[in-house]
Amino acid sequence: MSYKVKLSTFEGPLDLLLHLIDKDQINIYDIPIAQITSQYLSYLGQMQELDMDVASEFLVMAATLVSIKARMLLPRSSGRQEAAGEGPDPREELVQRLLEYRKFKEVASYLKDRERQAGKVYTRKNSIELYQHLFKPRHPLGGVTMEDLLQCLQQVLQRAAAGLTVPEEITREEIQVPEKMRQLMAKLLLYPQGILFSRLFGEKAGRSEIIVTFLAILELLKCGQIKALQNETFGEITILRRTQDLTEEA
């Protein structure tokens, strides 16, 4: 019976050292260099026995570990340094390299995870043409032309002129289009089914008020706050408030 031994693949000697340190839960700032060196050399021996390629950098690290181990076994250069615990730690440079390598490894793992998450996302080209079918264009003059509105205005002006029988003193009255727009919107609230165009003008309205009212109607049509309907040719034009439903049929 034969046994197959599978060893993990490491990206380099520092990767192998981190694996040994994490496996035994060793404090990276206080590495038992003799233990780690023994495990490291044992691992290299297994790689060679399995005819695995051992890169030169692994062998260089093995030599470094042996050198550090030997330096730690040597006595201090002087009694004063030994008593004070002074002198550089032979492991210091290796510890710094391991800490730096661990940071890069964590960053690489994070980026790899982000790449894997991004691979699950599929995008497509975005353009306004993709959504135009969801929004029907608004046509405030549904079935009504500008000529129809002007004709109705002419009829209202003729009616006002016919009702003027006695000359009166003309007084100047300032009528603002924005104020008239607010008045019309408030009036249309009372007529949810709409109101005839001619009834939007007061019976005693003068020419100036009629013109301002007509301009206010045009502005409200332009803003999409109201709409005009004509159910039959040459019929009365109905004005009503426009709802905010985007799917409303104009």
Whether 82 and 177 map to the same domain: the answer is no
Whether 87 and 153 map to the same domain: the answer is no
> According to the model, what pLDDT value does residue 196 have?
86
User: Which amino acid appears at position 104 of this protein?
Assistant: F
Q: H or E element: which one contains 241?
A: strand 238-241
Average pLDDT of span 2-9: 48
> According to the model, what pLDDT value does residue 250 have?
41
Which residues span the domain enclosing 95? 13-118
| Residues 82/93, Cβ–Cβ less than 8 Å | no
Whether 27 and 109 map to the same domain: the answer is yes
Whether 97 and 183 map to the same domain: the answer is no
Whether 39 and 74 map to the same domain: the answer is yes
Whether 139 and 220 map to the same domain: the answer is yes
Structure tokens at 154: 């002419």
Q: Residue 125: inside a domain, yes or no?
A: no
pTM here is: 0.42
In the chain, the number of structural domains is 2
Q: Residue 6: inside a domain, yes or no?
A: no
Whether 113 and 137 map to the same domain: the answer is no
Q: Residue 1: inside a domain, yes or no?
A: no
> According to the model, what pLDDT value does residue 100 have?
92
Cα–Cα distance measured from residue 139 to residue 249, given in angstroms and rounded to the nearest whole number? 9
Whether 89 and 49 map to the same domain: the answer is yes
Whether 93 and 29 map to the same domain: the answer is yes
> According to the model, what pLDDT value does residue 140 have?
60
Average pLDDT of span 64-87: 69
Structure tokens at 112: 């790899």
CATH assignment at residue 201: 1.10.10.580
Lowest-confidence segment of 2-11, 55-64, 157-166, 201-210 by average pLDDT? 2-11
